[in-house]
Amino acid sequence: MAAASPPLLPTTVLPANTTATVSPAPTSVSSADAKPAATRAFLARLLDSVKRALSGARPWPELIDRSALSRPESLSDAGARLRKNLAYFRVNYAAIVALSLAATLLAHPFSLAALLALLAAWCFLYLLRPSDAPPLAAFGRTFSDRETLGGLIVASAFVVFLTSVGSLIFSALALGAAIVCAHGAFRIPEDLFLDEPDQANGAASVNLLSFITSATGGRV
């Protein structure tokens, strides 16, 4: 007698065109990827603002024309000359003060390094941080924007008033201001005339750093 064959198990055959669909994981842009873009945008806007401000500079030969220099007759005459020259050579005078500051800091590398570190802290910890960024985490705790701002202000006060950085900055600004005042008092302004486009450029130069408000999300 033949042995009975084992029962067949039911099987299911999948269609050949059936494939498993795997949904892609959602991608998110990390804050580390957003920081370089924000930094580039900030620097680009800063450079554009500086270029627009420097576009209103007067020709430097006109500034250093020795034939237009003479001693003022009185203090009131010197003040009148200074006011008109300040309005006419405002961009050149600002460049002179900036060059005085830059030369002083370059002559003192330690103070320059401390100032650059302070500026970097302001940029990366406050100015360039997105408004929706998570709170700053350090030393095992988190710091709010207000606490971060307070810490930066304290650090700035320490660097400026308790180190040589502050005295160098004030000395450089005083030297630049003295050069500007001396030139403005001795430069004869009779051949200098301001027109409406010049006044418009002057108003634009006052707003040189207005981009900071939008860069910080309205926090400053």
Strands, DSSP E only, in 121-214? Answer: 136-138, 141-143
What pLDDT is recorded for position 2? 53
Neighbours of 171 (CB within 10 A): 14
Which residues, 6+ apart, have CB-to-CB distance to 55 below 8 Å? 201
The reply to whether 218 falls in a domain is no
User: For residue 12, what pLDDT is reported?
Assistant: 54
C-alpha distance from residue 193 to each of 55, 83, 94, 148, 190 (Å): 17, 13, 19, 48, 8
Is residue 37 included in any domain, yes or no? no
27-31, long-range: CB within 8 Å, 24+ apart, which pairs?
31/130, 31/133, 31/134
Full residue range of the structural domain in which residue 184 is found: 59-190
Question: pLDDT value at position 183?
Answer: 95
pLDDT of residue 108: 92
> Which pLDDT score is estimated for 14?
53
Mean pLDDT in residue range 114-142: 84
Using one digit for the tens of pLDDT, what is the confidence trace for 134-177?
888 887 888 888 888 999 999 999 988 888 888 999 999 999 99
Tell me, yes or no, whether 38 lies in a domain: no
Average pLDDT over residues 69-92: 92
pTM of the complete model: 0.65
Residue 93 has pLDDT above 70, yes or no: yes
Q: Is the pLDDT of residue 27 over 50?
A: no
pLDDT value for 141: 84
Q: What's the CA gap between 140 and 56, in Å, rounded?
A: 50
Distance CA 96, CA 104 (A): 12
Average pLDDT, whole number, for the chain? 77
Has residue 199 been placed in a domain? Answer: no
136/146 Cα distance (integer angstroms): 11
Q: Is the pLDDT of residue 220 over 80?
A: no
Helix (H, G, I), strand (E, B) or coil at 138: strand
Whose tokens are 């020795």? That residue is: 66
Give the tens place of pLDDT for each residue, 195-213: 544 544 554 444 444 545 5
Asked if 127 and 42 count as a contact pair (C-beta separation under 8 A), the reply is yes
Residue 85 lies in a domain: yes
DSSP designation for 162: S
Q: How far apart are CA 154 and CA 36, in angstroms?
A: 27
Task: Count CB atoms within 10 A of the CB of residue 180.
Answer: 21
Whether the predicted pLDDT of 34 surpasses 80: no
Q: Is the pLDDT of residue 218 over 70?
A: no
pLDDT value of residue 98: 93
172 within 8 A of 98, measured Cβ to Cβ? no
Q: Is residue 170 part of a domain?
A: yes
The angle formed by the CA atoms of residues 199, 202 and 204, to the nearest 5 degrees, is 115
CA torsion 48-99-207-54 (nearest 10°) is -50
In a domain, 109, yes or no: yes
| Domain presence at residue 219 | no
Please return the burial class of 93, using the count of CB atoms within 10 Å of its CB with bins 0-12, 13-18 and 19+: buried
Number of domains forming the structure of the chain: 1
Q: What is the pLDDT of residue 71?
A: 92
pLDDT band at 39 (very low <50, low <70, confident <90, very high): low
As a whole number of angstroms, the distance between CA 93 and CA 23 comes to 63
Of the pLDDT bands very low, low, confident and very high (cuts 50, 70, 90), residue 89 is: very high
